[in-house]
Structure 1
Amino acid sequence: MKNNISGKHLIEIGYSEGKILGLALEILNENFSEIEEKELLALFKKVKDYPESFLYDPVLDKLAKAMIEEANLKSDDTMKLKEGVTAYTIFGENYIEEGARNQMDIAMKLPVTAAGALMPDAHQGYGLPIGGVLATRNAIIPYGVGVDIGCRMALSIFDIPEEHYLAKEAMYKRELIAFTKFGAGQNFKGKERADHAVLENEAFKATPFLKNLHEKAWAQLGTSGGGNHFVEWGIIEFAVRDEVLNVEKGRYLALLTHSGSRGLGATIAGHYTKVAKEICKLPKEAINLAYLDLNTAEGQEYWIAMNLAGDYASACHEVIHNRLTQAIGARVLAKVENHHNFAWKEVLNGEEVIVHRKGATPAAKGVMGIIPGSMTAPGFLVRGKGEARAIHSASHGAGRQMSRTKAIQNITRSEMKAILKDHGVTLIGAGLDEAPMAYKDIHKVMAAQTDLVDVVAKFEPKMVRMADDGSRED
């Protein structure tokens, strides 16, 4: 006769749904039809608890072997995300695409996440959205920093009135072309190479990996990347005297640059993202947010490398500004610099956290920053208000409203030339993917962050140089 034991009975004595349960039922029904239920359950519980004792049993060996093999299978070491999305603040909510919000939602589920915010220029990125700010507890996310580590803005304000620039545009164009290089793989050779203290940074000796990047860093020092990186002349207007910068009311020639850590930063990002993914196994939807514990050797190595890349990015801007300042024979009235694509140790709500700003400007109370528009739209010199809901941050620009592919498909060269002419802007290089129409309205973006920054001055682009083909960093 057939016994009356079901899967429910076996689950009650410790079996789980799955292949083992099915095999146990099959063996039960084929071999134990005339044994009392109580004795059978006791026997199968013993098999479950001590499978090695049944490896040579002619009937139960198959079940015992299956149990031991399952137990020896490598356990799933995929980390679990937190249930539900931790609340975060979105600034300029009406201007932000769903993809950026979805990426931020996932970032907020990381077990190490403490707080987050989306800036009004946010758009979908890789891992953390561009315009995303994420505070974590003792953990660093390489793709939360980004590929172009330490990408930054630098502004030099000169003692040259607007009229001088307008009268000497040809000279400014000549010098701009002479002292800048753009695009993936671009470098200086021989006597063209710049010297800078960053090349003596001890961090280059911290690991063999960083030591091997020294030559590339030296060759590319003072060059600019592809994509949206630029060097431009423009006119900056102070409506009132700024006491902190000691700049009088007026309109001045200024040099504005946007670039990062070149091949050095890209190589560091690629290497440590791979390391993080090997150590921190996250679910598929969060895989590009793999993080490193700062208490580990790998976490400390990345922290050293990231800070070196940030110092190097700053040095690249310094070389460009020094060369062009000397070329035009100007005196610098004030200089402001800020970086994004970086992580800082900061205190938030009384707790030390690691703040990742991927395409976001530091905006702690009193901190100066530059928020550019596009090649025809104005940029703004700002002073932070230290808004905690934004994790002391602001946007890093206008933000894209078209992907690069969409821009190339929908914008013509003649349309781009027309808008440049209307705004009186001379463009050297740049592809259609960087056309002004591909970007959000900077005025709407600024209006969405009045709680985050005060505007100190407005910068109007006049002559813009970018990579010829919109190339990316290699």
Structure 2
Amino acid sequence: MGNKLSGKDLIKLGFPQNNAINIALGQISRYRKRDKKETILQEAKQVLLFPEKYMGHGTWGKVAEGLIKPVEVRMHQLRTHRVPFEIFGENEIDELAKRQLYDSLKLPIAVQGALMPDAHAGYGLPIGGVLATDNAVIPYGVGVDIGCRMSLSIFDFPATYLKGRGFQLRNILKENTAFGLYETHKSRADHEIFSHAAFQEIPLLKSLKDKAYKQLGSSGGGNHFVEFGIVDLYEDRSDWKLSKGSYLAVLSHSGSRGLGANIAKHYTYLAQKQCPLPKQVQHLAWLDLDTHDGQEYWTAMNLAGDYAKACHDDIHRRLAKALGKRAVLTIENHHNFAWKEFVDGKECIVHRKGATPASEGVLGIIPGSMTAQGYIVEGKGNPLSLNSASHGAGRVKSRGECKDTISRSEMFADLENKGVELLGGSVDEAPMAYKDIQKVMRLQEELVSVLGSFTPKIVRMAK
């Protein structure tokens, strides 16, 4: 018996001569290539005899599905008409972003869509795009940075606490935050997230666990940040334990790091294999939630979202410890994720790719730029926006345009003028790269109420 397992070996076991063999060989090559051939054949025989017992199994679940109810792979065509949609702030949104939304609205699985006023072009769904689908999830409708989110911690220190403590606060940020591909914390923290069963049961996640552990409490590059600033609360609320006024606060923006990026890459590849689409919309390939891969992605996506929250929790824990003060109030939200929500009485999958959940009474954070105010908001539950709002000001210049048209000296002059200190960062994220947040907020007054603001003062980003 040779060492390498082949399709002939599976046929000898009794496997039907169809795609089940290709699926089995693919799974074995991906997840079990270091195991002995005899061991694999013994397991494969059990899967063949009792496939229903292996449904949902990390390695053999997809093979069992292929034996019981194979996934139909066929070319999907776009509808000739769009499902209902609404665009907020249409005149402020580039044409490519609108075209990307229009394409998504013609998918056979589409139910309803919306575009937020900060929208700009992306891959698959535009950034700022919201799409409800019927029992299907689009990995690129969630985005590469799964669970990218905002987290705001407000401390019972008056805003004047910042005066004369710039040096101390800069050092706290330098010593207690980590950014980009290579920075990690010297003293690593553990977290209950790593005991999640999916890290053992799904082979892809098992392979990513060590990296996720190393990156816990760190932030990505690009527009991700951790910053000290001043929160102004506009009203008294009994549930906030703080009266209206100005306070010291920490705001962070980041996602699920390498864990989320690898999940997005892997399941997008699977979606595009299972769901062929016309070339212009191939990034909108979806996974049916009634399939093994669809269920596995849903589990992995939710784990990545929980991991992103764990990263923010660790960042804020470290900073609170350095300040010697516990946060009184935390407000947080995802803005790259998919949720099961009801749309017109029907349960759908609502993708928000760069959009803030804004169901009635739900709190969230909409940041501006490194010099512009961000806002604490409360959702109004507008069904036309699929209970969503913008996730920020939105880009008006691409990263390439920033490098071509903005100098570092110009960026730092603007920062100095606004009284903001920047640690790290690049011209890609210069304030001039973003839309006017005041205008964006005016364009979504029917989506959210503003309860307070956050003004950045000391900002840390990747170098």
TM-score band w.r.t. shorter chain = 0.7 to 0.9
Per-residue CA deviation, residues 222-274 of structure 1 (Å, 9 max, x unaligned), is 00000000000000001221333232011000000000000000000000000
Cα separation, 2, equivalents of 1:185 and 1:285: 35
In the other structure, the counterpart of 1:85 is 82
319, 343, 357: which one aligns with 1:362: 357
Helix, strand or coil: the match of 1:167?
Answer: coil
Moved over 4 A (4+): none
Residue 339 of structure 2 aligns with an amino acid whose one-letter code is: W
Deviation (angstroms), 1:87: 3.2
Question: 1:198-221: CA deviations, max 9, x gaps?
Answer: 111112122111111110000000
Q: Classify the secondary structure of the residue corresponding to 2:194.
A: helix
Separation in structure 2 between the aligned mates of residue 180 and residue 84 of structure 1, nearest angstrom: 48
Instruction: Quote the Cα distance in structure 2 between the aligned partners of 1:339 and 1:451.
Output: 21
* 1:78 aligned counterpart, secondary structure: coil
Over aligned residue pairs, what C-alpha RMSD do you find? 1.2
Distance 1:94 1:245 in 2: 37
| Residue equivalent to 2:436 | 441
Alignment of 1:72-151 (within 5 A): 77-151=74-148
Equivalent position of 1:256 in the other structure: 251
**One-letter amino acid matched to 1:445:** V
Checking the alignment, whether the CA contact within 8 Å between 2:180 and 2:462 is kept in structure 1 is: yes
Q: Secondary structure at the match of 1:119?
A: strand
Match of 2:229 among 215, 218, 234: 234
Q: Which residue of 2 aligns with 1:66?
A: none
Aligned to 2:325: 330
Assess if the C-alpha contact under 8 Å between 2:74 and 2:274 holds in 1.
no
Q: CA deviation at 1:167?
A: 2.1
Secondary structure at the residue paired with 1:326? Answer: helix
Residue 286 of structure 1, aligned match among 281, 292, 307:
281
For the residues of structure 2 that align with 1:157 and 1:242, how far apart are their CA atoms? Answer: 14
Q: Distance in 2 between matches of 1:246 and 1:127?
A: 42
Secondary structure, counterpart of 1:306 in structure 2: helix
Shift of 1:460: 0.3
In structure 1, distance between residues paired with 2:335 and 2:305: 9
**Which residue is 1:15 aligned to?**
none
**Structure 2 residue runs without a partner (length 5+):** 1-72
Match for 2:436: what amino acid? D
CA contact (8 A) 2:177 2:185 kept: no
Preserved contact between residue 289 and residue 295 of structure 2 (Cα < 8 Å): yes
1:432 aligns to 2:390 (yes or no): no
1:307 aligns with 2:302: yes
Q: Give the one of 144, 164, 169 matched to 1:167.
A: 164
Task: Name 2:174's counterpart in structure 1.
Answer: 177
Q: Which amino acid letter does the alignment assign opposite residue 449 of structure 2? A: D
1:403 corresponds in structure 2 to: 398
Judge conservation of contact 1:113–1:137 (CA < 8 Å) in 2.
Answer: yes
Per-residue Cα deviation, 1:118-137 (whole angstroms, up to 9, x for no partner): 00000000010000000000
Superposition deviation, residue 84 in structure 1: 2.3
Q: What's the counterpart of residue 381 of structure 1?
A: 376
2:53 alignment counterpart: none
Cα pair 1:242 1:456 within 8 Å, conserved: no
Deviation (angstroms), 1:164: 1.5
**What amino acid does structure 1 have at the position aligned with 2:462?**
A
Amino acid in structure 2 at the alignment position of 1:328: L
Give the counterpart letter for 2:403 in structure 1.
I
1:317 aligns with 2:312: yes
Answer with 130-139 or 161-170: which moved more: 161-170
- Name stretches of at least 5 consecutive residues in structure 1 with no aligned partner: 1-75, 469-474
Q: 3-state SS of the aligned residue for 2:414? A: helix
Indicate if the aligned counterparts of 1:280 and 1:291 stay in contact, CA closer than 8 A: yes
Letter in 2 for 1:114: V
SS at match of 1:80: coil
Q: 1:187, CA displacement in angstroms?
A: 2.7
C-alpha distance after superposition, 1:25-45 (max 9, x if no partner): xxxxxxxxxxxxxxxxxxxxx
Query: What is the 5 A alignment of 1:61-72?
Result: none
CA apart distance, 1:85: 2.3
What is the CA distance between 1:186 and its match in structure 2?
3.2
Residues 112 and 139, structure 1, Cα contact 8 Å, conserved in 2: yes
Q: Deviations over 1:86-129 (max 9, x none)?
A: 23100011110001000000000000000000000000000100
User: AA paired with 1:129?
Assistant: P
